[in-house]
Amino acid sequence: MKSRPYRRAVTALLALATAVTVGGVAVPSAQAEDTRPPFYEPPATLPANNGDVIRSEPSDYYLDPLKAIKVDAHVNRVMYRSTDGNGEPVAVTGTVITPKTGWSGKGDRPVIGYAPGTQGIGDPCAPSRQLANGTEYEGLFVKGLLARGYAVAMTDYEGLGTPGVHTYVNRAVSGNAVIDAVRAAQRLPEAGLPDAGPVALTGYSQGGGATAAAAELAPEYAPELDLKGVSAGAPPADLAKVAENLDGSLYVGFLGYAVAGLAAGYDLDLGPYLNDKGERFMADAEKACTAEAVLKFPFIKSKTLTEDGRPLTDYLDEEPFQRMVNEQRIGERAPNVPTLVTHSRLDDVIPYEVGRDMVAGWCERGAPDVEFATLATPTHVGGAVASFPRVFLWLEDRFAGKEPSSDCGSLS
């Protein structure tokens, strides 16, 4: 019989796919609350180093939208410096959460850099705002990390909460934001964390891509981190293949996020490619958080959105899109720490082969200790739920100093 926390996690994650209301409260919508709070406005001048804290303030963390279940932890909203796609400084926000109980393991309390899955690209969809509102669907998994004594540094990513369009699934920008959230947590006095303690990164879906990217970037971008391992669930490592799977599906709104995110990251005007319906679709997608997008845009075929009647996926094989998509591919650079990749064969959002090919790429390039967990749970959401117990155990082993395993020899 499944435990009560497990059943709660299933319920919370199924809400993502079915877009039902939770406790009678409507799913979060960027259209319902589009005023940016002052905290999220960056200053004119940013600090000198990546991960430096720009500002912070106490925040709350609820597990439900009625705000009946408050997580008992030290919660701080932060704004910190990171690096954008052009190598320039950028302000990013996030949340740093520290358990009130002491760390009972060996050495210093670990910090988990948590990369959230798809939230939407509108400012109210930012995880730091959704945690405070009790509408963050990954709140239960984060609480599971806290229950094990870990501190959590959860990024909002570039442009999610802060000005500009969120650069959804942009590889380097996402990986940088995850790494710099950890640095910010280590430098935040209120968090009470060691400045050079053990670190791990974890995430699923968009978050899996972000942590996989961070694993590739860390050797050069953050060599000072005591990174023990990186867990990436169902990573969208090849956007062209993921886009083909999304077009016309229940999750076509995510394709809108990806196209808008790429355009924002490369300052590309989508106007010449879209017809009137396409422009309305993109404008609405930028205002819809995840569950609302599932409800609002199911089964739309992208060929109905373009000026010439071709699907958006056709453009990804042509310039300027081809270069943009190729630069987001993950698996072409080898991490230097143990990694765990989980992916269900029955994933209906990110094809199983995408995760497997990323792992094969890492193995071919000599990455050490790549563990690949093939799951058989139906749907993308089901794969997330099935991966949680495995991730928890794997993280415990990394912080305990146990020898990691590798599946590279079994991949043909």
* pLDDT tens-digit readout, 21-45: 233 334 455 544 568 999 999 999 9
| Residue 105 · residue 400 · CB < 8 Å | yes
Q: Which of 5-9, 41-45, 257-261, 379-383 has the lowest mean pLDDT?
A: 5-9
CA distance 199 to 204: 17
pLDDT tens sequence across 64-91: 999 999 999 999 999 999 999 999 999 9
Residue 12 confidence (pLDDT): 42
Q: Is 60 exceeded by the pLDDT of residue 5?
A: no
Domain ranges of the chain: 4-238+328-410, 239-325
Beta strands across the sheet bearing 151-155: 53-58, 73-83, 89-99, 151-155, 111-115, 198-204, 226-233, 339-344, 370-375
Give the predicted TM-score (pTM) of the model.
0.92
Residue 33 has what pLDDT? Answer: 52
Q: CA distances (Å), 44 to each of 54, 89, 121, 159, in order?
A: 11, 11, 23, 16
- In terms of Cβ atoms closer than 10 Å to its own Cβ (0-12, 13-18, 19+), residue 411 is middle
Confidence of residue 411 (pLDDT cuts 50, 70, 90): confident
Average of per-residue pLDDT values in the chain: 92
Task: Please name the residue ranges forming H helices in 103-167.
Answer: 127-133, 139-147
pLDDT at 35: 84
Inter-axis angle of helices 239-246 and 252-266, to 10 degrees? 140
Please give the pLDDT value at position 17: 37
Q: What is the mean pLDDT of residues 341-352?
A: 98
User: Do residues 180 and 51 make contact, with C-beta atoms less than 8 angstroms apart?
Assistant: yes
Rounded distance, CA 170 to CA 216, Å?
Answer: 14
R_g of the chain, CA atoms, integer Å:
20
Q: Rounded to an integer, what distance in angstroms lies between the CA atom of residue 256 and that of residue 258? A: 5
Looking up tokens 């991960």, which residue turns up?
Answer: 51
| pLDDT digits 0-9 by tens, 152-174 | 999 999 999 999 999 999 999 99
d(C-alpha 213, C-alpha 207), whole Å: 10
What confidence category does residue 410 fall into, taking pLDDT thresholds of 50, 70 and 90?
A: confident
> Domain 4-238+328-410 has what CATH class?
alpha beta
Q: What is the CATH number of domain 239-325?
A: 1.10.260.130
Q: What pLDDT, on a 0 to 100 scale, did the predictor assign at position 2?
A: 41
pLDDT tens digits for 91-121? 999 999 999 999 999 999 999 999 999 999 9
For residue 24, the model assigns a pLDDT of: 33
pLDDT tens-digit map of 255-307? 999 999 999 999 999 999 999 999 999 999 999 999 999 999 999 999 999 99
pLDDT at 182 over 60: yes
